[in-house]
Amino acid sequence: MEKKNKKQILQRVLFISELILVCSLFGLPKRAMANPGDMDNNGVIQQRGIEVPSSNSLKRNLTISSFVELPSHSFLISTGAGRVDQRQVNQRIQYNPTFGPNIGIRGNYDFWTLSLSKRLSFVHQQDVQTYGRSDYDDWRIGYNFTKTFLVELYYKNYHGFYTDLGGQEGFQTSFGSGDNQNFSNIGTQSQIINRPDISSLNYGLRGTYVLPLTPILKMFSSRLENESMNWDFNFLAKAYYNRLRISGEKPLIPSSSVNSFSPISSLKENGSNTLGLGAGLGVIVPMSKQPVFGFDAQLGTGFQKQSNLFTDHESVAYTTAEEMNANLYMDWKGDKHGFRFDFYLDTLSSKVDDINFDTSNFGLNLSYTYSYHDT
């Protein structure tokens, strides 16, 4: 037990050290916008998604949100057609957490945003016996340097996973389009393996620049200049650092699947550090009356350093990784009260010894917001 506590303390020290290093690499500048009136009444940084702030208020405000979230964090280890075809159960191993809701709280004040969420402790006992128990922590800190540049620091930690080698249980993901797939009969029967020892630690820093495109479009189109255009288009550019570590006390590959994944059959831990760039598009559709609909998506690619721990040796490798972030939301904002609904999807893809490693975060989020305005 003492050895385990020392290991946890060492991991936290390494985590803090890496965050300090990343912040120093990014070079946090001084506040570029001192006028609080340039911020939107409900804050710029949302928990998910990008919004362009307006300058329609000279008041600072405090916004408190409570939310319920149905998240999932899965990782897929695959080879050959198993990455795109969910029927190829012998060529894919997907680990999922036990399904359950999170509750959280989020606060916005001035240029700052803080979000914290935690997995609820109550889960049906039968599900615990079948799939095990999963714990999940998620916190985010955001800061707006200007109306169009924001930075977010995030931390997510999952503990406790299961896999079904028959592909019958859990939401099965794929990273491609298989031909004529029959999802109603993927495998022969459920073969659930409970892995309470597996954990997934993910943290990083993301900087996003928002360039409004609507004024530019109106400059080049006389029709748009003369007509009222309600849709807002924004170009999104990002730079990011992502740290991901997936580890278990025994190999991640079940003994029955070692032949299909022989290059990594004894892999116990995969750690990666990714530094990359990306770009995308954001669209905001305000209605004549509330609510507001929005969508944004970004694609990125980066340079990745991997540290892999096997049962009998360690290895270091360098490769590339692809990242995708997408968010669809509906937002209703009153003077003091507001509601927001999100569906989000984040993926990170790379390879370990020519074996595909794909992680995905997706979920639904429903939040209630109360805003307090300074007079």
pLDDT tens figures, 25-83: 334 333 333 333 333 433 333 445 444 444 443 346 789 999 998 888 899 999 988 88
pLDDT at 137: 87
pLDDT band at 301 (very low <50, low <70, confident <90, very high): very high
**Residue 286 — pLDDT band, cuts 50, 70, 90?**
confident
The per-residue pLDDT for 46 is 46
Range of lowest pLDDT (15-24, 101-110, 234-243, 249-258): 15-24
Q: pTM of the predicted model, to two decimals?
A: 0.78
The mean pLDDT of 260-288, rounded to a whole number, is: 93
The per-residue pLDDT for 22 is 41
| pLDDT level of residue 266 (50, 70, 90 thresholds) | very high
Band of pLDDT at residue 120, cut at 50, 70 and 90: confident
**Residue-level pLDDT at 48:** 52
User: How far is 130 from 297, CA to CA, in rounded Å?
Assistant: 36
Q: What pLDDT band is residue 291 in, cutting at 50, 70 and 90?
A: confident
Q: Provide the pLDDT for residue 71.
A: 85
Which position has the higher pLDDT, 51 or 343?
Answer: 343
> How far is 150 from 330, CA to CA, in rounded Å?
21
**What is residue 14's predicted lDDT score, i.e. its pLDDT?**
46
Spatial separation of the C-alpha atoms in residues 219 and 18, rounded to whole Å? 45
User: Lowest mean pLDDT: which of 11-15, 212-216, 249-253?
Assistant: 11-15
Using a 10 angstrom Cβ sphere, with 0-12 exposed, 13-18 middle and 19 or more buried, the burial of residue 182 is: exposed
Encode pLDDT of 124-163 as tens digits: 677 777 788 888 889 999 999 888 899 999 999 999 999 9
pLDDT surpassing 50 at residue 249: yes
- In one-letter notation, the amino acid at residue 131 is Y
- 35-46: b (≥16 Cβ within 10 Å) or e: eeebbbbbbbbb
Is the CB of residue 247 less than 8 Å from the CB of residue 328?
no
Please report the pLDDT score of residue 73 as a whole number.
86
Average pLDDT, the chain: 80
Do residues 251 and 266 touch, judged by C-beta distance below 8 A? yes
Give yes or no for residue 268 having a pLDDT over 90: yes
| Model pLDDT for residues 179-208, shown as the tens digit of each residue | 545 444 454 577 889 999 999 999 999 999
Residue 205 pLDDT: 96
High-pLDDT (> 70) share of the chain, %? 75
What per-residue confidence (pLDDT) applies to 9? 47
Which residues, other chains included, contact 118 with Cβ-Cβ below 8 Å and sequence gap of 6+? 102, 103, 104, 136, 137, 138
Lowest mean pLDDT among 222-231, 316-325, 331-340: 222-231
Residue recorded with tokens 């393996």 = 193
Mean pLDDT of 342-351: 94
- Name the residue among 222, 221, 315 with its Cα closest to residue 263: 315
Domains of the chain and any CATH numbers: 2-373 (2.40.128)
Q: Which residue has the higher pLDDT, 191 or 355?
A: 355
Phi, psi values for residue 5, rounded to 5°: -65, -40
| Beta strands 267-286 and 232-247, pairing class | antiparallel
Alpha-carbon span 240 to 232, nearest angstrom: 25
Binned at pLDDT 50, 70 and 90, residue 23 comes out as very low
